[in-house]
Structure formats: C-alpha cells, structure tokens
C-alpha cells in the first residue's frame, strides 16, 4: 500500500527498502508537496550533502545523476549514501 502507515523506516531499515520504492516516494514529494512542506527534507539534504567526503560524492553522484530529475531529492540521496556507506563497510 503506497499511502498508509510505513512498514519500514529509511533510517532504521534502509536495506529492506528498495531504491525503486524510495524513488517513487521522492517523486510523490516532489510533485505533491509544497516547498514549505519540504523544509525538513531540505535540512536532511543539507546534512547528508555537507557530511559527505569527496570519495563518497564520487561514489554516489554518478548513480544519483542517472536518476530521473522528478525522482531526485533528499530521500533518494540519503538512500544512496546509506547503501554506499554500509556496502563500503562490509568489505572491511
């Protein structure tokens, strides 16, 4: 069910949520939420982006830039960063 109580939370269950689902939800936010409603998302984007190293940016942004612009945004970036960080740590 797309609209309803969340079954998983991105920050707690990021591995259980597919990038496709995250992109769908990001697109809905981009299309249907006012700029005022997106303020907390803007803060999330700033936090994630400003916390990224150059190496992490080099890993994440090629994938992010291939995503359709309507599906780009704070939640999509956070998902890609979490996936990349935890994928990198699995190799250690």
In a domain, 65, yes or no: yes
Q: Domain count of the chain?
A: 1
Model-level pTM?
0.79
In a domain, 7, yes or no: no
In a domain, 5, yes or no: no
Q: Report the chain (92 residues): mean pLDDT per 10 consecutive residues.
A: 61 79 90 85 88 94 96 93 80 52
Rg (CA), the chain: 13
Separation between Cα atoms, residue 36 and residue 88, nearest integer Å: 35
The pLDDT of residue 79 is 92
In a domain, 43, yes or no: yes
Structure tokens at 86: 């935890």
Residue 85, CB half-sphere, CA atoms under 13 Å: how many? 13
The pLDDT of residue 51 is 92
* Residue ranges making up the domain that contains 72: 15-90
Separation between Cα atoms, residue 40 and residue 87, nearest integer Å: 27
- 23: closest CA among 48, 2, 53? 2
In a domain, 64, yes or no: yes
In a domain, 3, yes or no: no
């Amino acid at each position: 069910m797309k609209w309803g109580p969340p079954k998983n939370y991105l920050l707690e269950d990021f591995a259980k949520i597919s990038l496709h689902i995250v992109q769908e939800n990001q697109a809905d936010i981009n299309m249907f939420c006012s700029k005022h409603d997106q303020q907390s998302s803007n803060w999330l984007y700033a936090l994630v982006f400003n916390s990224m190293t150059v190496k992490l940016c080099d890993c994440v942004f090629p994938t992010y830039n291939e995503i359709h612009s309507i599906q780009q945004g704070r939640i999509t970036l956070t998902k890609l960063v979490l996936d990349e960080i935890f994928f990198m740590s699995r190799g250690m």
